[in-house]
Amino acid sequence: MEYIESGFFMNKVSFFDKRLLKKFWQIFSVIGGIVSFVLLFWDIPKKYKINFLAATLVILLVYYVIAWIFAKRQKRVTLKFGESNVDVYFGDIFQSKKDDLKVISFNEYFDTKMDEQTQLISPGTINGKFIEKHKKNIFELDETFEKDVHLNEKMFININKERKIGKKKRYHLGALVKLPDNYLAVAGSKFDKDNKANISMREYIGFLLTFWSEVDRIYNNQSVVIPVFGSGVLRFTDGYAGATSQELLEIIIWTFKISRIKIAYPSRIKIVVFENQSDMYNLYKLKEIERDGL
């Protein structure tokens, strides 16, 4: 199961969405041209002109409403960037295909301890749900991070001796580690001295560009499934505190586009949007990035 079949999950598409209006006016122009051409050769009796006009307006209104409903009910969109395909859909990353690489976002220390006292990892996040699913194998997870050669030789920053809770080895944002069962762990957030996930927008974009480079290194012709990194979790510190989940999704797609990496068929990038947050996203808008960028 990769995306939601139910119609209860709806896109955040306003009735007067500018993309919807633009498409409507294109249709309107075509219909107007056809009607004008027909009327050159066929004169509508005067007593029927009002009825004809009213019927035309009703048909156009019905078309617009139907188009709007379809836009709101859109569950999936595929974007093409050269040879690469990016799918965005509503679903659950843990229900992705077995052979897909599923990316789980950790903090920059790759902490794995989750309890009420430390509060390093929130149980409601994807990271928390992953830890809960693998709580019997935490020792093996920690050992994987300790022994990963690329992580500790290329992505290691320093040892934070002042950190009182959690691990002390700190890594570059965007660093990827291969885990069992086709999972990937990414260093996706910075922690301050109070273990709060804070980041600047420049750091967020830098994280994504490093992440795509790491994906290119590790994906091995498998599809890669990612969440909307930072949605509802990250605190932006440089004037972008109001960044919406939709904007983060658009930035993720934009950085993939400018990274120039190729995830060629049959592999693809799959971005999974929390199914219970569908009203925070507008999939209908994403085609603009494919064509014009942000």
Q: State which amino acid sits at residue 153.
A: E
pLDDT in tens, 88-100: 999 999 999 999 9
**CB-CB neighbours of 6 under 10 Å:** 8
List 89's β-bridge partners, or say none: 76, 272
Contacts of 61 (CB under 8 A, 6+ apart): none
Which of 80-85's residues contact partners 24+ apart within 8 Å by CB, and which partners? 80/290, 81/256, 81/257, 81/290, 82/262, 83/262, 83/263, 83/264, 83/265, 84/256, 84/261, 84/262, 84/263, 84/264, 84/268, 84/269, 85/263, 85/265, 85/268, 85/269
Specify whether the CB–CB gap between 211 and 247 falls below 8 A: no
Residue pair 80/162 in contact by the 8 Å Cβ criterion:
no
Angle ∠(186,272,181) on CA atoms, nearest 5: 50
What pTM did the predictor assign?
0.81
Per-residue pLDDT of the chain (294 residues; tens, 9 = 90+): 454 444 445 667 677 677 777 777 777 777 777 767 666 666 666 666 677 778 878 888 888 888 777 777 778 899 999 889 999 999 999 999 999 999 999 999 999 988 777 778 888 889 999 999 998 889 999 999 999 999 999 999 999 999 988 999 999 999 999 999 999 999 999 988 888 888 899 999 999 999 999 999 999 999 999 999 988 777 888 777 778 889 999 999 999 999 988 888 889 999 999 877 777 888 878 887 776 655
Q: What is the pLDDT of residue 72?
A: 75
Domains with residue ranges and CATH for the chain: 18-72 (no CATH), 76-292 (3.40.220.10)
Rounded CA separation 139/84 (Å): 37
E-strand stretches of the chain: 76-81, 84-91, 101-107, 156-159, 169-171, 176-179, 183-189, 198-199, 224-226, 235-236, 269-274
Look-up of token digits 């570059």:
172
| pLDDT score at 181 | 93
Answer whether 179's CB lies under 8 Å from 205's CB.
Answer: no
Residue 263 near residue 269, CB atoms below 8 Å: yes
pLDDT (tens digit per residue) in 130-187: 999 998 889 999 999 999 999 999 999 999 999 988 999 999 999 999 999 999 999 9
Start-to-end Cα distance in the chain: 30
pLDDT at 40: 62
